[in-house]
Every structure is written in structure tokens, then in C-alpha cells.
Amino acid sequence: MSPPLQGKITLTGQHSHQTENFKAFKLLRISEETKELFNDYFNNGYSVANAIHAHEAQLVLKYPEESEYVRCNASLNPLPRTVYYLHNLWLKSTYGLAWSNKSPIDKLKEKLDQYKKEDIDVIIDEKDSRWCVLIVTPIMKRAHCLPEAKEIIFTDSTASCDAENTVVSLLLTATKGGAVPLCVLLHNRQDTAGYKHAYQMLAKHYPNCFGKLSCPEVFMTDDSVQEKDGLAAVWPDALQYLCHFHVGQAEWRWLCEGKNQVDINDRQPLIRLFQQIMYAVDTESYEEAKENFTESCSYGNYFNRVDSFLEREKEWALIFRSETINRGHNTNNFSEASIRVIKDIVLGRTKAYNSCALVDYISHVWEDHMQRRLLHYAYDREAKPRLVYNRLLKKMPPDTKIEKIEDDLYMVQSAKKADLSYEVNSLVGWCSCPSGRSGAFCKHQALVFSRYGVGFPNKPAVTFNDRYRLGLLALGPEKCPKIDFFKDFDEENDAPTKDNSFLEDIQMNAVVQQPEETMDIGEGSEQQGAVDPEKRKKLLNELKEQIDRLHEVVKDEGGDVYDKTLETLIARLKKPSTPGQVMETMIRWKAASLVCSRRRAKIKVMPAAIQRRKEGKSRGAARIRAGRPPNNEPKNIRKPLPRILKKSVAANKPHVKTHSRK
């Protein structure tokens, strides 16, 4: 060795430590193949913890004989901190950076082409500081022309689904397989302007999404002022009903609040008085319920609250819902359940990363969930439709008389009163009984269906036609099996149908639906009878004569109220444009007339007569029946409460003692 070198270093390929122990395996770098596997986990909706557990399980299956060594190999089974790092990189590349000046909307715009390839419509609109995202998936597109979508729409919102508290607004329609959304709206403002902006987007891009109409008959909401104002601004012709559950819940909460100073023993009587007003089925009972409340309520603050709420009585009182076909829906439970599904099943009780991630969850995870649920009904894996139908059918005696008036019109004898009959219309799905007057499927309709097999649009999914429609709604025409696949062993092979444009509608992204001029397809459906032109002309002339007579009676009386009523009536008459819509309008007017015919004034009793009544009798102005009470009427005898704590709490009274009746 010559100067200036002072030493020589020799490198050998040997480690100075052990290389076949857990520490050496732990320090290995993650392989590219493993990175791709974890990216696939994240793309499929796995969280970090779920991805780690799933990956370890896959390694054990792949390397059964070397699993004890593979588990500690960081190149194949990375450390949790490495997986978290990979997840952060995936979030950044997929949804953008969180809590940065760059909006996730910018990242969402980069993914629009990808959604378009999947036949998912994602439309973005930005105005000043407001933005809105409209999401319409394939199932939602097919739901736009459902006949149910033109009757009643359920709406609700939530703002706790992602880290940015983006508002998620749903518009849903009821099907025979549960609620299906027409669209999902994401917006960053929960004020009236934010809701109006979101609803205007839907009206602009999908103007006829409500069963091929531009506006539904009814919106069912909770008492959110901002949401209701937004709906009224975009669809002013639609009625707005309040959910009965939310109305009753709000009243009970108010009564239980200490600041309102309502005695604990007066809360239950007051809420019952209010419920009598809300659930009254005719004008007579409605007016009597209001009088009872006026005479019995001794709290001025609660009286003023209910009195001001009565100014909006058409939104929540049941009696004012007789003119619409709402299929018996008086609550917003569909919306509440759908939001619960989003939070529990779609998001797994974990907030999404941002609004961009929320679009992914709704477009893919929720879409898959809806498809599975609809197919459960289509494949008859849900017993509820059959149980509901059988339960209604058992309420009618087997020997009940049915008289067929016309092709779609029947008179069904009452199950309790032999001299009373109810009118059933299978075309609209309506019955004149209290249960079926709103369009709900009642026991009289169930009996007609069991005997004649006619198609009711509101019956449960108990026929192969109903199951086929649900299959088409879930899968579309390309993937859905043929109609014979949905037939039971004993169902006929050739059930007639009037729906000639059935497949054409869904191929144009319209829903499998009955044409508005025909009835719903179903087993045993028959062609309508021939029209008698002379009879129809005669009826039309009689109608014109009666209208002229009414106008002559009023003459110059009525003032501005009469003119406004005529304007409203004319506007309602302009809406129907097809024979089916005209028939629905006529049926609704007939249903309203059954209630209006009982809206007559009654003779009230004198106030002194009310004061002379014994304790426990009604304090209303209606006359109490005289004479000997019937044997089946319970006597007004005070009985001691049972010694059950649950019943004492329900009665709002202290728990009973052994030596007392109270």
C-alpha cells in the first residue's frame, strides 16, 4: 500500500445480524403488488381496519403452509402505519386534499367522464358561494316514470354524512319494493336559497321526472320552513302535507318542556285533544274536536299555539287529505328510513371523507343496496307482500257479495253491515271505505282481486307482473330475465296486458309503468266496455246545466272568494291531459264528495246543558244520546289501576299502592 492511502476497506455481502427473524421481516419495504391490492380494497369501499383484516385473511388462504412467516413479512403484510399512509395517498388522488382551499367539487369535475361511462348522471352547478350536485343513477332514471311518482313524493335532508357537513336532500317515491329515490341533491347551504337552487337544478335537467309530469300531486315533508319554501318556489302547484309523526312529536315535546309550565297530569289529555283534531275523518267530528279543545284547554299558551297552527290545517289535518290519492301515506317514514340506510349501511356509521367521496358512496354502494332490495321482492324472498294481502283477505267473510257494475267498477258488501256496500274502482285503486278512500289497498279491494284477478295499481307485489316490474326497475331491460322467469308454478302463462309500450319506456330510461290511458297490467285484466256516445253526450249536457244553475244561484254574491275559487277550479281542470288522468281526477272529486256530503251544520246544545253534565261526560256542544245505553257499551265506572309500573307510567299517574285505589 503506497502513500497517501492509509488503509483498505473490503465490503462483503454478509449481514452482521440475523436476517431470518421477525425484526428483519418487519423492516422490509412494501411491494408494488401489495400496494395495488390495498388500492383495490379502498376502491371497493374498505376502511383501513377492514382492509388490514381482509388482507391478512387472504394471505392465510394463499400461503397456508407459510402463514406464520408471511404474517410478519412487511412486504406482503404491511404495518398499520404503512396502510394508513397508503390510504391517505389514495384519498388525495381520488377525492383531493381535505381542509384545503381547493374545493372537492374541482376533484369531482375530473371524475365526470368516469361517471358518464357508468351511465350515472352527475351534474354540478355553482353560483357565487353556493354549489349543488345532482346525482341520478340508472335505477333513479328508471324510477322517473313510475306512476307512483306523480302521486306523492317524500322529501327530507340531513347534513351529517361527511366531514364538511354537506346537505344531502332526497326525493323518493313509493314502490311495491319500498322507497326508491328519484334523485339525490348535495348542496352546501341549508337555507331557503340553497334548497331552491337544488330543486331548480332538478326541474331544469329532468323537467318530467314525476311520473312523466312536471309536478307531483303531493310533497310529504317535516315542518322545515326552508325546505318547504324551496319546494313552493319551484313547484307551486303541488300540495304540501306535513308528516303526522313529526306533528305529534313536536306537540308532545312542547307539552313536556318545563318552560311551558304544563302540569304533568294535563299533558296526556291535551295531546289527545289535539290528536282528535288531526285524525278526524269528517267535518262533523272535526268541528266537534275543535270545540272540545277550545272548551277543555285551560292553558292560554298552548291554546294560542294550536290556534295559530290551525291556520295551516290543510297541511296536517287528515280531513283535508280526502281529495288526493296518497295511498294511505300520512307520515314521512320512507325518508327517515332512507336516511338511516345511508348512514348505517352505505356509510357504515362513518362520515365520508368529503362531498366527492359522498357522490361515490351514493352512486355505487347505495345503488347496489337498492338493487339487492328490489330483487328480494322481485324474487319473492320477502314474505311481507303476501302476508299483508292474506291479512286483508281474512278480514272479509268468504260469502261476501260483490256486484260488478262496469269493467273496472264493483260494489262490495260491508263485512259488518249487510245493508252497506262500498264502491271499488280497480283502474285507480280506490275504495269508498274509510281505509281505501285515500287510495290505500283495503280489504274490499283484496276481495275483488282474489275473485276477479283484475289489476290494482296499489296492491302488494303478489303477482308475476308485479315481480317482473320490480326486476326491470332493479336491472333494466338488458339484464332482467324474461317475464316467464317470474311466474309461480300455478300462475297462468298468458296473462293479458294492455301495456304495449312496456319495454319501449324503459329502453328510453323511462320506467316500467302503466300508460296513463290504460290500467295496470295484471292477471285477468279485461278490456274496457264500449262507450255509448249518446249517453256520454247526455251526461255532459246535464253537467253543463248544473254548472249554469249553480252560477245562476250565486249571481253577484260570494264576492272575491267565489272568483278565486273558480280560478283554482279552472287551474285544476287544465292539468289532466290523458284519459287516465281525467279518470283519476273524477275519482278524487267523487271521494271528496263523500266527505263533503256530511259537511252540514249541526244544532248545538245550550251552554247550561253542558254545565249540568256529570263528570266524565263529553264537554263538547254535540248532543249526548238519551235513553238506556246499549249492553255492549262500556259503563263509565272508575276502576283501580293494575299494579303494573308500565301501565302506571302510560297512564301518567303515580304507581298504585296496596291500600289505595289511586
| 214, 343: one domain | yes
Which of the listed residues 52, 76, 95 is the one where a domain comes to its end? 95
User: 647 versus 88: which is more confidently predicted?
Assistant: 88
Q: Quick check: 658 pLDDT over 70?
A: no
Q: Which of 95, 115, 143 is the last residue of a domain?
A: 95
Task: Record the cell numbers describing residue 60, joined without a space.
Answer: 392465510
Segments in 65-191 forming alpha helices (H): 67-70, 80-95, 104-110, 112-117, 138-143
> Which residues make beta-bridge pairs with 91?
none
Over residues 519-529, the pLDDT tens digits come to 332 333 333 45
pLDDT at res. 630? 64
- pLDDT tier for residue 600 given thresholds of 50, 70 and 90: very low
| CB-CB contact of 244 with 331 (8 Å) | yes
Alpha-carbon gap, residue 68 to 274, rounded angstroms = 69
Shared-domain flag, residues 269 and 358: no
402-404/409-413 β-pairing: antiparallel
Q: How far apart are CA 421 and CA 399, in angstroms?
A: 14
pLDDT (mean) for 602-629 = 68
pLDDT band for position 632 (cuts 50, 70, 90): low
Give residue-wise pLDDT tens across range 4-41: 777 888 887 777 777 778 888 888 999 999 999 999 99
The highest-confidence range among 126-130, 420-424, 492-496, 602-606, by mean pLDDT, is 420-424
Closest CA to 135 of 119, 148, 120: 120
What is the average pLDDT across 124-141? 93
For 280-324, the DSSP string reads: --SHHHHHHHHHHHHHH---HHHHHHHHHHGGGHHHH-GGGGTTS
Nearest one of 583, 656, 603, 658 to 288, comparing CA atoms: 603
Given the C-alpha cell 348522471, which residue does it identify?
A: 121
The model's pLDDT over 309-362, given as tens digits with 9 standing for 90+, comes to 999 999 999 999 987 889 999 999 999 999 999 999 998 888 888 899 999 999
Distance in angstroms (rounded) separating the CA atoms of residues 554 and 311: 27
**31 versus 92: which is more confidently predicted?**
31
* Residues 110, 227 within the same domain: yes
Structural domain harbouring 29: 22-95
Three-state DSSP class for 245? helix
> Phi/psi of residue 241, each to 5°?
-110, 145
Q: Mean per-residue pLDDT for 36-63?
A: 89
Counted domains in the chain:
4
Per-range mean pLDDT, top range of 67-76, 91-100, 511-520: 67-76
The pLDDT of residue 491 is: 77
Helix (H) / strand (E) element for 333: namely helix 333-341
Cα 603–chain centre separation: 42
* 59 alpha-carbon distance from chain centroid: 44
pLDDT tens by residue, 544-558: 888 888 877 777 666
Q: Could you give the CA distance from residue 538 to residue 633 in angstroms, rounded to a whole number?
A: 50
Measured CA distances, 570 to 12, 145, 322, 580, 588 (Å)? 99, 26, 20, 19, 16
Average the pLDDT over each of 161-165, 269-273, 303-307 and give the range with the smallest value. Answer: 161-165
Q: Is residue 543 part of a domain?
A: no
Strands 121-127 and 430-431: unpaired
Residue 349 is predicted with a pLDDT of 84
Contacts of residue 644, defined as CB under 8 A and 6 or more positions apart, other chains included, come to none
Same domain, 154 and 170: yes
pLDDT of residue 596: 45
Residue 518: the pLDDT is: 32
**Same domain for 411 and 392:** yes
Calculate mean pLDDT across residues 245-250: 90
d(CA 442, CA 445): 5
- The residue among 427, 452, 429, 426 whose CA lies nearest residue 440 is 429
The pLDDT value recorded for residue 634 is: 58
What's the pLDDT score for residue 334? 95
**Last-in-domain residue among 36, 67, 95:** 95
Indicate the range of 1-5, 316-320, 564-568, 609-613 predicted with least confidence: 1-5
Choose the most confident range, by mean pLDDT, from 355-359, 506-510, 584-588.
Answer: 355-359
pLDDT digits (tens, 9 = 90+) for 642-653: 655 445 446 565
Least confident among 409-413, 563-567, 574-578: 574-578
Whether 601 maps to a domain, the answer reads: no
Q: State how far the Cα of 108 lies from the Cα of 129, in Å rounded to an integer.
A: 17
Q: Grid coordinates in use for 245?
A: 309523526
Cβ within 8 Å of residue 261, ≥6 positions away: 299, 301
Separation CA 153–CA 596 (nearest Å):
26
Helix and strand element counts for the chain (H, E): 27, 11
226 and 131 fall within a common domain: yes
Q: Report the share of the chain in percent with pLDDT over 70.
A: 81
Are 355 and 469 in a shared domain? Answer: no
Looking at the predicted structure, is the pLDDT value of residue 613 above 60? yes
* pLDDT value of position 149: 94
Read off the DSSP letter of residue 617: S
How does the average pLDDT of the chain come out, rounded? 83
Helix (H) or strand (E) segment spanning residue 447: helix 443-452
Please state the rounded mean pLDDT for residues 457-462. 93
Whether the per-residue pLDDT at 388 is higher than 50: the answer is: yes
Surface-to-core class of residue 7, CB atoms within 10 Å of its CB (0-12 exposed, 13-18 middle, 19+ buried):
exposed
Same domain as 345, residue 305:
no
pTM: 0.74
* Alpha-carbon gap, residue 261 to 202, rounded angstroms: 45
What residue type is assigned to position 651 of the chain? A
Examine the domain organization and report whether 178 and 145 are in the same domain: yes
pLDDT range class, residue 530, cuts 50, 70, 90? low
**Band of the pLDDT at 606, cuts 50, 70, 90?**
low
* Pairwise CA distance, residues 83 & 49, whole Å: 9
pLDDT at 503: 43
We report the CATH number of the domain holding residue 173 as 3.30.420.10
d(CA 255, CA 268): 9
Answer whether 620's CB lies under 8 Å from 295's CB. Answer: yes
Verify that 220 and 363 share a domain, yes or no.
Answer: yes
Say if residue 599's pLDDT is above 70: no
CA–CA separation, 411 and 423 (whole Å):
5
Mean pLDDT of 357-379: 94
**What is the enclosing helix (H) or strand (E) of 194?**
helix 192-205
Answer whether residue 636 is part of any domain.
no
Do 285 and 422 share a structural domain?
no
Does any domain span residue 585?
A: no
pLDDT score for 591: 60
Instruction: List beta partners, residue 409.
Output: 425
- Inside any domain, residue 360: yes
State which amino acid sits at residue 105: I
Going by C-beta distance under 8 Å and a sequence separation of 6 or more, which residues neighbour residue 240? 218, 219, 221, 228, 231, 232, 315
Q: Is residue 412 part of a domain?
A: yes
Q: Are residues 132 and 224 in the same domain?
A: yes
The reply to whether 458 falls in a domain is: yes
Residue 132 lies in a domain: yes
Side-chain-facing half-sphere of 155: CA atoms under 13 Å = 28
